[in-house]
Every structure is written in C-alpha cells, then in structure tokens.
C-alpha cells in the first residue's frame, strides 16, 4: 500500500520543520508532499532543507482548496492508494494517523475524518469557533442523514476511489472542508469520523481569522446548500476508461 | 397607485434576480464567494421594496422626497460596490497571470539547461 501525506502550506515556516520531523519519526516510510500555496515566508526553503518531503511550489496563491486538489492530482499520477491530508501548523499529530487509516484499510469507509469532538482531551478550538462548528454539524446532518461532528477538520484520509473523484471534483475554493463532506456523501462515498487528539497550532495564523468568521459561515452555508442542489456526478460520463484501467491494475496486485 | 406599482415591479425583479444568481451558483458558473455581494444587494433591494416603512425612513434620512427614488440610490450603491469588487479581483488575477507567465518562462529555461534538449526552433 502506498500512502501519501499531503500538507497544504501557506506561511507555515515557523512550524513546518517540526511537523516534518514528527512525520519522519513515525518511521513508516510514508511519502510526504508539501503543496506550498504561494507563501510569503520561508516555507519552501524550510521544507527543502529538511529533505524528507517533496515540494510543489504553486506560482500563485490558490486558496486551501486549490492547494489540496494539487495533492490529489499528484496522488493520481503516482499511483497512491491512500492519501492523508495533514496540517502544516502542528495541530495534527503524526501518531494519530493510524487511527484514520484503520477504517480505510478495513474497507469500512472511503473517507475518514479525524474528529476533535468524539473524545475528551486535546485542543478543541475557541468558544466562538466551536459554536460555528456545531452549527455546521447541524446543517450538514440535515443533508447527510447522519451526523459528522467535526466538519471543519482538515485531518482526513482518502482511499483510491475518493482520490480519483476528488482530483476532479475537489471544491477549489478557500473554504472547502464542510462542502467536501456533503459532496462526498451525496456521490455515494462512505464518510466516517474517528476520534483523534489535536494540539493548538504552533505558529502562523489560521486562514480563518475571527473577523472573517461571519463571511466564512455565509459562504460555507451557501456552498453546502448549493452542493446538495446539484445533481450527483455522473460516474459513467467522467473519465471512465482511466478509472477502470486503474482499478484493474489494483486487482492485479 | 403608481407608487405601489413601482414597488411591486422592484420586488418582483429583485426576486427574479436572486433566483438567477442562485441558479448560476448551482450550475457552478459563479463561486459562492463572489456571489455573496450580489445576494446581499438583491436581498436588501427586495427588503426595501416590500417594507414600505423602512423605505420611507431611509428616504427621510438621506433627504429624498419621493421614497422610491431611494431604491435607485440603493441600487447605484450596490452596483458600485460590486464593480469595485470586480476591479479588485481583476487586478489580483492580472498579478497571478503575470507571475504564472514569468514562472513558466523561467521553468522552460531551467529545463533546457538540465536536459540540454533543443526545443523546436521557431525560426526567429
């Protein structure tokens, strides 16, 4: 099984070195890809000096969604079986990755979200944020038919089927996480949550500052409503030959 | 009577406008981020054309004797805001295209150096 860790990074020079160290310390031989989203600090040279990760240096800032989607395209080209999305600010803990992989490898889900709210302990974000996250969980549960508690968590693992789908359909916007959940479930993917512990960020600043929270919520709620109004992606119309060829390859192994 | 008819037309057209914007988002012809300002403008316009007292109050504040004219003022302010947003976005895109073009040229040059491949001569 080939596992790729994708770290979208925007101005994470202060923390990315320690994140890469913790991933290397796992000793699992996971390939690490940092997608630099037009950082204005030394993120790229920090990663290069560490030497353990591949860097894709985007020419301009695309927003988190565009950066993440680049990682999915890379995964498609390099025949990755499992992709793990990981933050560069130190919030996500390397030793928690296996908890995300377990339901994927057991074949119980296609996408696993690491959730802060299913277990006591660890960092839970500020009060205002938690309020917003609860509202998103409520709205999303109306569309999903079941509850995902941590819709803004970026700590996620995807199987090959989800990688193929998201390389083409990932919401390439700067507020993708909650919409991504609805998009996946609506298109028949099994999305589940698993309890993980998170840490407070080590450096940099969140891409969602407090003053912009209302703007963020308005965009996200609108996006969720719209994605649930869109027709299900017709799998028989999009790139069928490629997907089928890849599936046969997997079977041969 | 004429007054009421104007407000009905305003309400109906802003409703049609809102539906158009929503349908464009649904078809992915418009990103939510860019549509938000349109939606806010449309909702404000709709609100003021339905809620007469608010319109009278607004007209009173800015010193307009004929309240429906305040709707036009609202419309112009909204249009200005959206157009400024457009200018900002266009400027940002111009910067992005510029740096993309530069990066591509630098990359092509580096690739030539690395692989010593002679790219097809374009006859210049």
Which among A45, A55, A41, A47 has a CA at the least distance from the CA of A11? A41
Question: How close is the nearest chain B Cα to the Cα of A29, in Å?
Answer: 29
Residue A218 in tokens: 């308005």
Length of chain B: 124
Dist. CA B13–CA B17, nearest whole Å: 6
pLDDT band at A56 (very low <50, low <70, confident <90, very high): very high
Interface test with B, best of A38, A39, A57, A60 (most B CBs within 10 A): A60
Distance, first Cα to last Cα, chain A: 10
Residue A152 dihedral angles phi and psi, to the nearest 5°: -100, 0
- CA-nearest residue to A174 within chain B is B33
Predicted confidence (pLDDT) per residue in A158-189, tens digit: 999 999 999 999 998 888 999 999 999 999 99
Q: Is the pLDDT of residue A252 over 80?
A: no
Residue B22 in tokens: 């929503």
Residue B101 in tokens: 């073009």
What is the strand order of the sheet A156-158 is part of?
A54-57, A31-36, A3-9, A82-85, A156-158, A111-115, A191-195
Dist. CA B45–CA B47, nearest whole Å: 5
Residue B59 dihedral angles phi and psi, to the nearest 5°: -60, -40
ipTM exceeds 0.85, yes or no: no
Contact: A215, B25; criterion CB under 8 Å = no
Q: Given this model, what pLDDT does residue A95 score?
A: 95
Q: Given this model, what pLDDT does residue A248 score?
A: 39
Interface test with B, best of A59, A66, A174 (most B CBs within 10 A): A59
Task: Report, as an integer, the average pLDDT of A44-51.
Answer: 93
Interface test with A, best of B33, B99, B105 (most A CBs within 10 A): B33
Q: Calculate the alpha carbon distances from A181 to A193, B83, B113 in Å.
A: 11, 33, 45
A87 touches chain B (CB under 8 A): no
- CA-nearest residue to A221 within chain B is B32
Dist. CA A166–CA A184, nearest whole Å: 9
A173 touches chain B (CB under 8 A): yes
pLDDT band at A105 (very low <50, low <70, confident <90, very high): very high
A150 touches chain B (CB under 8 A): no
Which among B35, B36, B99 has the least Cβ separation from residue A59?
B99
Residue partners of A201: CB distance under 8 A and separation at least 6: A15, A87, A89, A90, A91
A59 touches chain B (CB under 8 A): yes
Contact: B36, A215; criterion CB under 8 Å = yes
Q: Calculate the alpha carbon distances from A183 to A100, A105, A144, A230, A248 in Å.
A: 20, 22, 10, 9, 26
Residues of chain B with pLDDT under 50: 124
Q: Calculate the alpha carbon distances from A127 to A114, A204, B43, B50 in Å.
A: 20, 20, 30, 38
∠ at Cα A163 (A160, A168), nearest 5°?
140
**Residues on chain B bordering chain A, Cβ-to-Cβ distance under 8 angstroms:** 22, 25-26, 28, 31-33, 35-36, 39, 95-96, 99-100, 103
Q: Is the pLDDT of residue A226 over 80?
A: yes
Q: Given this model, what pLDDT does residue B118 score?
A: 56
Contact: A60, B95; criterion CB under 8 Å = yes
A60 touches chain B (CB under 8 A): yes
Q: Calculate the alpha carbon distances from B88 to A84, B84, B93, B94 in Å.
A: 35, 6, 9, 10
A232 touches chain B (CB under 8 A): no
Question: How close is the nearest chain A Cα to the Cα of B41, in Å?
Answer: 14
Question: How close is the nearest chain A Cα to the Cα of B81, in Å?
Answer: 16
- CA-nearest residue to B107 within chain A is A59
Residue A16 in tokens: 């990315």
- CA-nearest residue to A60 within chain B is B96
Residue partners of B64: CB distance under 8 A and separation at least 6: B70, B73
Which among B36, B39, B99 has the least Cβ separation from residue A60?
B99
Question: How close is the nearest chain A Cα to the Cα of B101, in Å?
Answer: 9
Q: Within 13 A of A148's CA, how many CA atoms are on the CB side?
A: 26
Q: Is the pLDDT of residue A250 over 50?
A: no
Question: How close is the nearest chain B Cα to the Cα of A76, in Å?
Answer: 23
Q: Given this model, what pLDDT does residue A175 score?
A: 85
Q: Given this model, what pLDDT does residue B108 score?
A: 85
Instruction: Please answer whether residues A13 and A39 qualify as being in contact, where contact means their C-beta atoms are separated by less than 8 angstroms.
Output: yes
Residue A227 in tokens: 């994605």
């Amino acid at each position: 099984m080939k596992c790729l860790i994708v770290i979208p990074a925007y101005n994470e020079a202060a923390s990315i070195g320690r994140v890469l160290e913790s991933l290397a310390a796992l000793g699992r031989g996971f390939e690490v890809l940092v997608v630099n989203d037009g950082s204005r600090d030394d993120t790229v040279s920090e990663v290069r000096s560490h030497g353990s990760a591949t860097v894709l240096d985007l020419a301009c800032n695309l927003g988190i969604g565009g950066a993440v989607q680049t990682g999915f395209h890379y995964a498609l080209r390099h025949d990755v079986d499992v992709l793990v999305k990981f933050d560069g600010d130190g919030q996500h803990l390397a030793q928690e990755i296996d908890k995300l992989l377990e339901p994927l490898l057991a074949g119980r889900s296609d996408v696993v979200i690491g959730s802060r709210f299913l277990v006591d302990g660890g960092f839970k974000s500020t009060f205002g944020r938690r309020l917003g996250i609860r509202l998103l969980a409520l709205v999303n549960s109306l569309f999903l038919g079941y509850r995902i508690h941590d819709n803004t968590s970026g700590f996620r693992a995807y199987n090959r089927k989800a990688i193929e789908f998201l390389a083409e359909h990932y919401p390439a916007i700067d507020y993708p996480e909650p919409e991504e959940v609805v998009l996946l479930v609506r298109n028949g993917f099994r999305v589940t949550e698993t309890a993980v512990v998170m840490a407070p960020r080590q450096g940099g600043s969140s891409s969602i500052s407090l003053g912009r929270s209302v703007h963020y919520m308005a965009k996200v709620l609108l996006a969720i409503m719209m994605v649930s109004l869109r027709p299900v992606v017709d799998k028989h119309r999009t790139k069928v030959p490629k997907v089928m060829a890849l599936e046969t390859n997997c079977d041969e192994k | 009577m004429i007054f009421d008819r104007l407000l009905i037309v305003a309400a109906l057209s802003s409703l049609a406008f809102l539906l158009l914007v929503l349908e464009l988002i649904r078809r992915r012809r418009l990103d939510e981020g860019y549509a938000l300002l349109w939606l806010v403008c449309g909702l404000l316009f709709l609100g003021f054309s339905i809620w007469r007292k608010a319109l009278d109050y607004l007209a009173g504040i800015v010193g307009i004797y004929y309240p429906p004219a305040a709707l036009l003022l609202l419309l112009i302010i909204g249009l200005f805001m959206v157009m400024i947003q457009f200018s900002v976005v266009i400027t940002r895109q111009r910067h992005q295209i510029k740096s993309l073009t530069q990066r591509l040229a630098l990359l092509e040059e580096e690739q030539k150096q690395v692989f010593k491949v002679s790219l097809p001569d374009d006859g210049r």
